[in-house]
A and B are shown apart, each in its own frame.
Chain A
C-alpha cells in the first residue's frame, strides 16, 4: 500500500454539486439511445409475432374451405333396364354393372334437373358430367347395391360436385380461368348459379375430408385425410411403444447407475450429437438399414415408426434425465435408508415421482415425430396414394400407408391447385393434433409440477 500516499487528490477536480434533477444534454442523448434500443427489441418481438400471425392466418384462410364441400341435390331415376337387366334384384348379379353403366343415369338425372328448373342452357345434356365428381357415380352405385329395392324408383341423392364447381363456389375458379379450362365451360357455371339460387347446389361440412381416403390425382374433391391419419396413428404407436421404454431405461441407466467411465462418456456424446443430426439423415438410415438391409416393407408405418423412434429417442432421453435429476437425492437416501436396494429405490420411488416430467417430455417428443416429414420421404411414404383403410392391426403396421405430413406434402406436389386447399386443410388437422398434444403436456406439467 505504498502508493496510497502518492494519490493525487481528485477531490478538487470533481465538479462540485452537480444537480441530479436537471437532466444534462449527454444524459438526454443517452436516454434517446436507450429508447431506440428498446424500440428495436419491441420491433423484433412484434416481427416474430407478426410472422406467427401471418403463418396461422394463411393456414386458416386457405385451409378452412377444405372443410366445406359442394354437393348437388339431384333426384335420380334408377332405371331398372340399365341397372338390373336380369330383373331379379340380386346384388351379386347387379355388381357386374360397373360405373360405366351408372354414369349415363346420373348424367340424365342432372339434365332432367336442369330442365325441370327451367334453366336455359347451351350445354349439351350429355356434357352434364362436368358438374359432378366421378366419385358421385360410384356413390350412386354403392347405394343401389346396398339397397336393391331402390331400383326403379326416383331417389334424391346428394352427390359430390366436381372440383371445378366446388372451386367456383369457393371463388378459387373464376369465369376467366374457366375460359382456359377444357374440363368445364362458362355455361356450366351459369347452370350452377341457377341451381344454387334454387337451393339444389349447397356447400356443407365435409366429413369425408377428415375421415375419407386419399383419391387419385384427378379427383381432389374426394380426397381426405382419414387413411393418412391412421397411418400416423400406427406410427405413433410404434414410436410410443419403443421410445418410452427404451428412453426411460437409457435415462435411468445414465442418471442413476452409470459409472464415470469411457463408455458412459461415449453414450452421452452420442446422445447429444444425435439430437442435432438432420432428420433427413435418419431417413437415409431407415432406407439403408431397415429397407435395403433388413428388407422391411416399403411405405409401412412400422418402418416409419422405427425411424421416428430413433429420431425422437435423444429428445426423450434428455427430458427424462432432467425429470430424474429433479427428484432430490433425499428421496433416494430415504429409500436406501430403509433397506431397499438401489434398483428398488429407483423403480419404487424415483421413477414414479419423475413420471409426470417423463410423460411431458414424451408427449412433446411424439408431437415432434408426428409432424416430421423428411425421413418419411425416403422410406417411401410419399408417392403412395393411401386410398384404402388398413384391414386389421397387422395390416395397419405393415401395409403401405401414408402419414399426415407425408399426405400434405403429396397434395402440395400435385398439379391441380384444388389440392392446395386440401394441403392447407390437412395442416389444420395436423396442427389441431399438435396443439392438443402440447396442451396435454402443459396441463400435465402444471398439474404435477412440484417444488422440492
Chain B
C-alpha cells in the first residue's frame, strides 16, 4: 500500500523551499560535511539516507541551526529558506527554529504534562491569545499528530508516561503546534517498534500536505515508503540526489548502488 505514494507526489508544487550551496561542517578537526549542494521542495518528503556517520544528521541540523548549540561545530556555506540566508547575521535562530521544526531520534517529551508539552511552543512564541485559543491549538496539534484519541482523556498526565510510539507522535504534535513550515525529522522511528513505526510513517505522509518534510533515516525501506525525493550521503559527501523511484531503481552512482544493494553500510 505504500509504494504507490511516491508517484502521487508528482502532483505537489515543485517550488524550492530550502536551497543549500557549498555547505561545509567541521566538528573540531573532523570535516563532517563536504561541499554539499541540495534543493529541497515544498510539500514533499525528502529522505536523507546513508551509512551511519555519513553526515546526514549533521546536515539536517544545519537547516535549523541546531549546530549552534554545539561549541566545536563550525558551519560554512549558504543555506536559504524561501530565499533568505539562514546564516545571515540578522537572523535570529529562535525565529528560524519556529519556522523549521524538528523531531528527534529518541522521543524526548519534556517532564511535563501532555498538554504542557504541546502548549510549550505556542506559549513561548505567543501564538495563543487566551486559554481557549491555546486549548484549540493543543487539540489541533494532537489531532495532526494522530494521537488525540489516545490522550484526550489524560491531557494532564505526564508525557513521559506514554509508550515509545505515542511519545514520538507527541513530539511530532509538539513540533507541529508552533506552525512550522518545514519539519525536520532525525531518524524518528529508530527507537520505535514496527507497529509504532508504521503509525509514524503514515503520519509523515499525512504531514506532506502542509509541510516540507525532511527525514533522515537509516532504513532504505522507510525512505522508499515515505519519501518522494532521496539524497544519499557517504562520508560527508552528497553522492546522489533525485526522485526516490530513480534512486532505488536506477541509481547513477556505483556507491549508491552498492549501498542500496547492501554491499556497504
A24 to B81, CA, bound (A): 17
- A4 B94 Cβ-Cβ under 8 A: no
Specify the chain A residue showing the minimal Cβ separation from B202: A1
- B94 A27 Cβ-Cβ under 8 A: yes
- B181 A14 Cβ-Cβ under 8 A: yes
- A14 B179 Cβ-Cβ under 8 A: yes
B86 interfacial by beta-carbon distance below 8 Å: yes
A13 to B143, CA, bound (A): 15
Specify the chain A residue showing the minimal Cβ separation from B85: A21
Chain B residues whose C-beta falls within 8 Å of the C-beta of A11 in the assembled complex: 209-210
Q: Contact flags (1/0) for B94-129 with A, using CB distance below 8 Å? A: 111001000000000000000000000000111000
- B82 A17 Cβ-Cβ under 8 A: yes
Chain B residues whose C-beta falls within 8 Å of the C-beta of A17 in the assembled complex: 82, 181
- B140 A8 Cβ-Cβ under 8 A: yes
A10 interfacial by beta-carbon distance below 8 Å: yes
B51 to chain A, nearest CB (A): 27
A25 to chain B, nearest CB (A): 10
- B84 A19 Cβ-Cβ under 8 A: yes
Q: Which residues in chain B, 71-97, are within 8 Å of chain A measured between CB atoms?
A: 81-82, 84-86, 88, 90-92, 94-96
Specify the chain B residue showing the minimal Cβ separation from A28: B92
- B146 A20 Cβ-Cβ under 8 A: no
A26 interfacial by beta-carbon distance below 8 Å: yes
- A3-B146, A8-B140, A9-B209 known; A20+B91 contact, CB < 8 A: yes
- A20 B86 Cβ-Cβ under 8 A: yes
Specify the chain A residue showing the minimal Cβ separation from B144: A7
Q: How large is the interface on B (under 10, 10 to 19, 20 to 34, 35 or more residues)?
A: 20 to 34
- B91 A3 Cβ-Cβ under 8 A: no
Chain B residues whose C-beta falls within 8 Å of the C-beta of A15 in the assembled complex: 179
Q: How large is the interface on A (under 10, 10 to 19, 20 to 34, 35 or more residues)?
A: 20 to 34
A30 to B126, CA, bound (A): 10
A273 interfacial by beta-carbon distance below 8 Å: no
Number of A-B pairs, beta carbon distance below 8 Å: 67
B124 to chain A, nearest CB (A): 7
- A23-B90, A26-B125 known; A10+B140 contact, CB < 8 A: yes
B235 interfacial by beta-carbon distance below 8 Å: no
Q: Which residues in chain B, 30-89, are within 8 Å of chain A measured between CB atoms?
A: 81-82, 84-86, 88
Chain B residues whose C-beta falls within 8 Å of the C-beta of A1 in the assembled complex: 146, 199, 202-203
B209 to chain A, nearest CB (A): 6
B14 interfacial by beta-carbon distance below 8 Å: no
A6 interfacial by beta-carbon distance below 8 Å: yes
- A20 B140 Cβ-Cβ under 8 A: no
- A9 B91 Cβ-Cβ under 8 A: no
Chain B residues whose C-beta falls within 8 Å of the C-beta of A30 in the assembled complex: 94, 124
- Which of A18, A22, A23 is the one whose CB lies under 8 Å from B99? A18
- A4 B203 Cβ-Cβ under 8 A: yes
A15 to chain B, nearest CB (A): 8
- B124 A8 Cβ-Cβ under 8 A: no
A121 interfacial by beta-carbon distance below 8 Å: no
Chain A residues whose C-beta falls within 8 Å of the C-beta of B210 in the assembled complex: 9-11, 14
List 21 contacting pairs A-B, 8 Å CB cutoff, sorted by A: A1-B146, A1-B202, A1-B203, A2-B149, A3-B148, A4-B146, A7-B143, A8-B140, A9-B209, A10-B140, A13-B179, A14-B181, A17-B181, A21-B88, A21-B90, A24-B95, A26-B126, A27-B92, A27-B94, A30-B124, A31-B94
**Minimum-distance CB pairs A-B, first 5:** A11-B210, A20-B96, A20-B95, A14-B179, A26-B126
Q: Which residues of B contact A (CB under 8 A)?
A: 81-82, 84-86, 88, 90-92, 94-96, 99, 124-126, 140, 143-144, 146, 148-149, 176, 179, 181, 199, 202-203, 206, 209-210
